Structure 1
Amino acid sequence: MKLNVDLGDKSYPIYIENNILDRASDYIAKVFSGRRVMIISDDNVYPLFGERLKRSLSGSFDCHELVLPHGESTKAFKTLPVVYLALLNARLTRSDLIIALGGGVIGDLAGFAAATYLRGVNLVQIPTSLLAQVDSSVGGKVAVDLPQGKNLAGAFYQPALVLIDPLVLDTLDERFINDGMGEVIKYGCIRDAGLFHTLETHSSFADLKEELPAIISSCVDIKRNVVEHDQFDTGERMLLNFGHTLAHTIEQYHNYRRESHGEAVAIGMYQITKLSEEQCLTAPGNAGRILELLKQYRLPYECGIPLRELTEVIELDKKNLNGRLNIVLLREIGNSYVHPTTIDFFKRNLRTI
């Protein structure tokens, strides 16, 4: 299955195929004519897929690898010198290639390194988590975290190619599957009531297995369409942030050690929809449908944090411009919109969420 992100001279293909990892060299050769490749991965993913990827590439490319510790703490600004030094030691030039092999952390970190090393080198994304496959590997948002918040140092840097192999998800622990389902549910909420209904009519991720490539494709296609209309996140693309205004603050509250990103998004989607229903900005009953679906896919819907403790971090959010905060709300499932407001949206009911 092939999709194409149409961004003029920054356009790129996305391939979704079982076992595509074994044919990665063929696809990469279509978009990259250089010789030297640096694979950036982590110590969970590389032992599973790194050598397999290198075997595919070894006949055509000079391969190097950098294996980093797994986890959100790796996606920190302080990790960048480690990455840059590895690129320098491998003698990567602007005509060479970085491959991000991993989940969202590696995709964001390697992407930001690709955007900034020598003012930009070629990038290929090979996402190995459900969350990265349906969301973060597509669209060109790359970033690292600062101590003050998530993704506060970043860039828009499109890859040359995205390769998605649904079969690699078989190696994921249940929590990481659930994590990705948070983003899948998000796409149903913002743009695809049919996808949301499909999720409602299945009992678990395992029950969705046969439909998984189509579900991944549906999510990617929504993101592709949104990115084509708004590459730099100034309008329609903000819809992809549904649930994220709260999610990022929830993740940071426990220093990224408790809720995963998808779990925090799940909480954020439900809680912000509950708030917007109370303010008559969302039709009644939608928060309840989200709640039931989160329970069905074993995702959290509350975190036990007082809203007053989250509002200070929300005020630092990238979407808070000149005292105005753009948040994403639902009119109903499948129909989302950007609502300009202020921090008072969250302060009207300072309960524990």
Structure 2
Amino acid sequence: MFKEAEQWRKENNVNELYESFNFPEREAVSKIYPQYYHKIDANGRPVYIEQLGRLNIKELFEITTPERLIQQLIYEYEKFQRERLPVCSEIRHELIETSCTILDLKNVGVSQFWKVSSYVQQASKIGQYYYPETMGRFYIINAPFIFTTVWSVIKGWLDPVTTEKIQILGSSYIGELSKQIPVESIPSILGGKCNCPGGCGLSDAGPWNSPEGESIIKQVKTEKKLLVENYDRKLKGLPPVGEDQADSQEGADASAPTSKEEDGVSPVANASSQTFPRVAEQSFTNQSAVTNVSSHHSTTIAGAAPAILQPSGSLAESAQVIGSSDMIELPTSAPGELAPPISNQ
């Protein structure tokens, strides 16, 4: 499973996507399908919010494509693991590996979910197999009565451990929700007291956007670079370098042959966790978790994924069974090729 995950990352150029992906349609998409991280919960976990009630499939795919939504999903997963989690861990002085998700179903019709099931199918697979074990708590708020029927089906797809993390709340949810998330951190649109300038949905408010958080992210990236470099040096029979030497050694060793990944496993995966500080180690925790894949989540329930009922993987199976005449089909493209943005002008 680990090698399969490594191969998937290569085929989809995940590292390149994390470094260079741009989503200029984000603001326009947010008006139709709000999905965003916003501050942290009582346990120090990043809070992920998704409001499904505004979703209009036809308008959404005039602005972007299912393919670009998947790329945005992968990018957010990578940012979640490489930036948000390390910052939250360092600030709390404890390992933070999961998120707290709020899925708002206000004004949602059941048909909205089934129409986007093809997209959810692919997103669920990504969440289950390549970013497992990232759901800490999951709140479904403003759940309509009809959702009880839908949930009875979805619940059967999930592991009991996962269902214990999911709480279904009606319209009087704020009291229960504020036990986990400070009311000052809950967006006013959801009944909280937070009113970020320009709107909470586009603010990306959280410790990762503070000066301290930015410093931590920079340190994480430096330590990751050092980890990979020292692994390469070990394969070449060279002594390891310290953080202060990494940049100066880069040019000196440029002419040396580059190391090859052994059996398809990356240097980061093979390197000893003793070679880099805790904050950098945390950023790799979930990437290495592919060796411990379980059926505990689906994409949406997973965390960074679209929370469209993220039944971490099992949702994919349901999408194949249910079927729909107006189901959105995913376009095919070359592996790793970044889909161009669609202008909404």
Range of TM-score over shorter length: under 0.3
* Larger RCO: 1 or 2 (CA < 8 Å, sep 6+): 2
TM-score of the superposed pair, with normalisation by structure 1: 0.23
* TM-score using structure 2 length: 0.23
Q: Rg: which structure is higher?
A: 2
Structure 1 or 2: more strand by fraction: 1
